[in-house]
Structure 1
Amino acid sequence: MLRRRMLIMLGIVLLIVLVLAGYKAFSVYTLIQGFSAPKPPINVAVATASERPWQSRLPTIGSLKALQGVDLSLEIAGTVKDVQFQSGQKVKAGQPLVQLDSAVESALLETAQADLGLAQLDFGRGSQLIGSQAISKGEYDRLSAQLQKNKATVNQLKASLAKKHIVAPFSGTIGIRQVDVGDYLASGTVIATLQDLSSLYADFYIPEQSLPKIAIGQGVQINVSAYPAETFTGTVSAINPKVEDSTRNVLVRATLANPDGKLFPGMFASLQVILPDPQNRIVLPESAITYTLYGNSAYVVAQKKASDGSLEKDDKGQPILIAERRFIETGERRDGWVMITKGVQSGEQVVTAGQIKLDNGAHIAISDDKTLTDKNSRPRTD
């Protein structure tokens, strides 16, 4: 009886073990089938590498300078008697700006002019008397010299008096005034800045190896941070005939019009010199490029091949597409496009969106979903 019960219990345990083993085997089989099942393709957006005329440019940075610009300052000391301009006013050449107290110089000029008049009378009498030998030749020469001396004194005082009267040396816009009526100003004191803003210079440096690419009259595109959406155009007007010893750079000057007065001297400028002879170059959308420290790359659409070299096809008879990662060499970037110098041929399709899910050899499907492109339009920087 006891033996029978033991056999029954042993049979029950054996049955439980078999059931558990079967369940485990079924789970492992299901997992294996899941791994071995083909993964669905990854949807990506693509663009075709195309060859188009590419206008090469030489990027550089520089600063803006006025066509004419000075800091108005005094040559001689004096007290301000009258300020004849307003801050920010547009002035004409020769327009009075500041009048210094000139009472002393005016009085000295009157004295000198009186002495000059007397010297002219004495010289006139001497000229009549020298003919009749009533005076000596030496006396006549003394009278002549005295006349010249008095004339020089008058001219000197007139020049000194003129320096008390400050006028605009050229037409332009005057800055914020730095003086007031009654101020005593030493020589060299700055009154205000005067800038001619009708046209501006853009001075920039280029490396000496780029010098053969630059010529007078070439176009220049200029951007400033104050107006990021606007591009100003100018032309190369001068090339410095000297290479800087310390930097091996050459100073170049471009001239640009400023009719609206938007640009000010001293602004930082980002420039692009338009180089001649545009050439056909392969270009890609900037979103197709993955930028990394060890090199730039892009995913090119390729067809999967079997071990014998034949093209593999899906159950619908269509070629199986894969993403082939290639390292590329890039050139200039402009307006969302990148020039490709090596790694991609014209006519090849390149992934422009969906790269974040890809790896080399990944199965892909080309999608027409516009949202995919919109969400992944920025270049990757893995």
Structure 2
Amino acid sequence: MLRRRMLIMLGVVLLVVLSLGGYKAFSVYRQIQVFATPKPPINVAVVTANEQPWQSQLPAIGTLKALQGVDLSLEIAGTVKALQFESGQKVTAGQLLLQLDSDVEKALLGTAEAELGLAKIEHGRGSQLVGSQAISKGDFDRLAAQLKKAYASVAQLNAALAKKSILAPFSGTIGIRQVDVGDYLASGTMIATLQNLSSLYVDFYVPEQAVPKLAVGQIAQVTVAAYPAQIFEAKISAINPKVDDATRNILVRATLPNPGGELLPGMFASLHVLLPGANTRVVVPESAISYTLYGNSVYVVVPKKTAGGEPEKDAKGEPQWTVERRFVETGEHRNGRVVVSKGLSAGERVVSAGQLKLDTGAHVAISADKTLQAEQNSQPRVD
């Protein structure tokens, strides 16, 4: 009886072991089938690297300055007697702008001119008398010195009288006046600003590494916040011969015609200096570039090949595609596009969306980048 029970227990244990072993074998078989089944292709957006017109540019920011601009101020103190200009008026060189009270100087000038006349008469009489030895040579020298002193006094008073008025040093537009008739002004008081707006300077800084790319006469495209849709053309007129010790930048000046007078000194300007070089570049969307610490790369779409090196096709005869990761050198970025200077040829197709799911050799299904196409259709092309 005991033996029969032991045989039954052994049979039950054996049955349980066989059942577990069969279940495990079935699980392993299913896993093998899963791994043996080919993975479906990964859907990615693909664009073609095109060789497009591309003008190399050097971006910079600067400030507009007047070709000629001064703050008119007084050299001597006095009371304003007359103002000969209005705020915002255009004036010409030499035009009288302000006259201070000069009655005292005019009276002193009259006295000095009278003394000068007397000195001339005495000097003329003395020149006759010294010839006939009626006066000594020393007396005649004193008469000559008095004549020179009288001339100097008149010249001094004429200079002081000239400082009582302000003349426009050049033609331009005068700003808002800061004084009124009757004001007593101390020396150095600013009357108004005078700016020649026919042309402007654009002063901007560039890194010292960019100096070999710059030359006098190069064109710079300028935009300002006041007219964001308008591009103004300036021409580089001077390059500073010294690099700033603190910033390692160099000052560059461009001349900007301003016949309409719409641009004003002090405006903030954004510039793009047009650089010489090839006019075409291989260009791809910025979304196609993967940026890492080890370098920039793209996923290039290539035909999938069999072990024999032949292009692989599916059951319908359609070619199969895979990707290979390729490191590239990039250049300028502009309007969502980037120049690829090395590592990619025109006509090659690159993945522009879905790179996170990829690795070299991954099987992919190609679809056009509709988002990029919509952006290119809606935005004007700027090179």
Which range, TM-score by smaller chain?
A: 0.7 to 0.9
CA separation of 1:91/1:344 partners in 2, compared to 1, >3 Å: closer, same or farther?
same
Structure 1, unaligned stretches of length 5 or more? Answer: 1-24
Quote the RMSD (CA, aligned, Å).
Answer: 3.4
SS in 2 for 1:158: helix
Displacement, 1:300? 2.7
Residue identity matched to 1:355: G
**Amino acid paired to 1:73:** S
TM-score (norm 1): 0.80
Does structure 1 conserve the Cα–Cα contact (< 8 Å) formed by 2:41 and 2:365?
A: no
Deviates more, 1:313-322 or 1:293-302: 293-302
The CA deviation at 1:166 is: 0.5
1:74 is the counterpart of 2:86: no
**1:63 Cα deviation (Å)?**
2.0
Per-residue deviation, 1:362: 5.8
1:272 is displaced (CA, Å) by 2.4
Q: How far apart, CA to CA, are the structure 2 residues paired with 1:222 and 1:375?
A: 25
Deviations, residues 240-289 of structure 1 (Å, cap 9, x unaligned): 23333334433222112111212222222222222223265321134433
Contact residue 44 and residue 354 of structure 2 kept, 8 A: no
Partner SS, residue 134 of structure 2:
coil
Distance change (3 Å), C-alpha of 1:371 and 1:284: closer
Aligned to 2:164: 164
Native 8 Å contact 1:82 1:100 kept in 2: yes
Gaps of 5+ in 2: 1-25, 379-383
Inter-partner Cα distance in structure 2 for 1:227 and 1:195: 21
> Match of 1:127, SS?
helix
CA contact under 8 A between 2:44 and 2:351: conserved in structure 1? no
Worse-matched range after superposition: 258-267 or 325-334 = 325-334
Moved more, 75-84 or 296-305: 296-305
Deviation at 1:356? 7.4
- Describe the SS at the equivalent of 1:333: strand
The question of whether the paired residues in 2 share the 8 Å contact of 1:96 and 1:165 is answered with: yes
**Comparing 271-280 and 216-225, the one that deviates more:** 271-280
Matched with 1:240 is 240
Structure 1 residue matching 2:259: 3-state secondary structure = coil
Question: What does residue 355 of structure 1 align with?
Answer: 354
Aligned residue number for residue 18 of structure 1: none
Q: Deviations over 1:300-330 (max 9, x none)?
A: 3233345665543222111223455544331
TM-fit CA distance, 1:377 = 9.7
Moved more, 221-230 or 46-55: 46-55
Does the CA-based 8 Å contact 2:80-2:101 persist in structure 1? yes
Alignment-derived partner of residue 275 in structure 1: 275
Q: Counterpart of 1:129?
A: 129
Aligned length: 353
Which SS does the other structure have where 1:264 is aligned?
coil
- Residues 335-362 of structure 1 show CA distances to partners (whole Å, capped at 9, x for unaligned) of 443111234222211234x437853366
Q: Distance in 1 between the 2:212 and 2:339 partners?
A: 22
Equivalent position SS for 1:231? strand
Check the 8 A contact 1:102/1:161 in 2, yes or no: yes
Is the CA contact 2:299–2:355 (under 8 Å) kept in the aligned structure 1? no
**Structure 1 residue 370: Cα displacement:** 4.6
Encode CA deviations 1:114-143: one digit per residue, 9 max, x unaligned: 211221222222222222222221111111
Change in 2 beyond 3 A, CA 1:173/1:293: farther
Shift of 1:202: 1.6
8 A contact 1:42–1:363 mirrored in 2: no
Which residue of 1 is the match for residue 312 of structure 2?
312
**What secondary structure is seen at the aligned counterpart in 2 of 1:42?**
strand
Deviation at 1:161, TM superposition (A): 0.8
Contact 2:84–2:98 (CA<8 Å) still a contact in 1? yes
Displacement of 1:163 in angstroms is 0.9
Map Cα deviations across residues 13-36 of structure 1 (whole Å, 9 max, x no partner): xxxxxxxxxxxx9xxx8xx98x96
Q: Which moved more, 1:146-155 or 1:198-207?
A: 198-207
